[in-house]
Amino acid sequence: MSNTTETKTAPPHGLPPQDKGGPLARFLKATELDTRLLGMLGALALIWIGFHVYGAVFNGFGAFLTPRNLWNLSVQTSSIGIMACGMVLVIVTRHIDLSVGSVLGFCAVVMGVTQVYILPPLMGVGHPMIWIIAVVVGMIAGTFVGAIHGWLIAYRSIPAFIVTLGGLLVWRGVAFLITSGETISPVDQTFKLLGGGPYGAVGEVGSWIVGALGCIAVVVMVLNSRKQRTRFGFVMRPIWADYFIGGISCAAVIGSVLLVNSYPWPKGIVKRYVAETGIEVPAEGLFISHGFAIPVLILVVVVICMTILMQRTRFGRYVYAIGGNPEAATLSGINTKWMTVKIFALMGFLTGLSAVVASARLGSATNALGTLDELYVIAAAVIGGTSLAGGIGTIYGAVLGALVMQSLQTGMVLIGFDAAIQQIVVGAVLVFAVYLDNLYRKNAK
């Protein structure tokens, strides 16, 4: 009687391993889609459709799924989304930052004072460098504050909760002392464009250029993924799966372009623009598209840069290593203390950038700017799949979480819910998200 030895061989390139699951399981395995991502997209679709139907039934008009509301929703999400990208790193490494809202207000005040009181007497009103210097000063201020927090946490062994809770109070108070409670305005006109609005958008042609670049980037990423899998001998996705992912991604990009280009300038601004430029208005009227708002493009750049940082660099690998097991990371030679300083400094930098968007959109600077933003940023990261236990989190998940949070807020405002009910809903959603995270981690074990 002869003994036979069964050997397992890797499937040929282009063919995934055989899966005995159902069609849906095989589809998910072939496309390698993140089930959490699909769940968030499904929840987001339900929120959008629910608010729209509610408005149509009870108010006589569904105002949620309109180009105007979705365009404004994208702009409103930008500030929270930028900070959520940094909060992912903080939470992944088992820390928390409760100070981001106050730091945002502080950075906004610093930029306001710089461009309204300090630079105009030195450089002249309307100097083209004023807004640039103000932006740089604001982001430096945020980075400095974040580095101080990180140093206290890492080198003085003060818990992040206490340091940032103190920062929440300290930086809000400092902002109040700087302004004496007054609103600083008017800010530089070019600076205001960074907050969106009809003039703070790239228009129809610019949006199609952005869309074309986005589709090219999708194709390059799909081709590069196949190249890397071939190079390192990994199992290849089926060709149809790559086509599907690339097609869906390009369709989403093109759909976004069509959406933002379908939202026209308000009639009053169009009339003012015609009067200023002296252009001829056609008989059917003048339709000028908003296109992508500048804050949204800033968020997109931040997401791309942060994703590369987390997935393609040693810094990102260290972040996940520290979150997975801080003691093992230290023993492996990672300078966890210095990494903590850099992570909080990066959080401060992104908070300063978010302050640029928020204060530019408001057109002024006030010490109250960013109040309670820390709660929405943390909620966005957690809803997006970042585990409070550390070691797990994605940038795109945090941005989707920010979009979910802002969609809830916007929808409740549109259907007439008061502020108290909005806070109840946001708090309940945050608790439910953490509960789902716990269930997910238990089932994954």
Q: How far apart, in Å, are the Cα atoms of 168 and each of 102, 145, 147, 162, 371?
A: 5, 11, 15, 10, 10
pLDDT tens digit sequence for 401-419: 999 999 999 999 988 888 8
Q: Return per-residue pLDDT of the chain as tens, 445 residues.
A: 444 444 444 444 444 445 556 888 888 888 888 888 888 899 899 999 999 999 999 888 889 999 999 999 999 999 999 999 999 999 999 999 999 999 999 999 999 999 999 999 999 988 999 999 999 999 999 999 999 999 999 999 999 999 999 999 999 999 999 999 899 998 999 999 999 988 999 999 999 999 999 999 999 999 998 998 888 888 888 999 999 999 999 999 999 999 999 999 998 899 888 888 888 888 778 899 999 999 999 999 999 999 999 999 999 999 999 999 999 999 999 999 999 999 999 999 999 999 999 999 999 999 999 999 999 999 999 999 898 889 999 999 999 999 999 999 999 998 888 888 888 888 888 888 778 777 777 776 6
In the prediction, which pLDDT does 103 show? Answer: 98
Q: DSSP secondary structure string, 76-126?
A: HHHHHHHHHHHHHHHHHTT-----HHHHHHHHHHHHHHIIIIIHHHHH-TT
In this structure, are residues 254 and 156 in contact, taking their beta carbons and an 8 Å threshold? no
3-state secondary structure of 293: strand
Q: What is the pTM (predicted TM-score) of this model?
A: 0.92
Chain mean position to CA 249: 18
430 with 382: CB under 8 angstroms?
yes
Domains and CATH numbers, the chain: 34-201+293-444 (1.10.3470)
Q: Is the peptide bond before 121 cis (omega within 30 degrees of 0)?
A: no
Beta bridge partners of 170: none
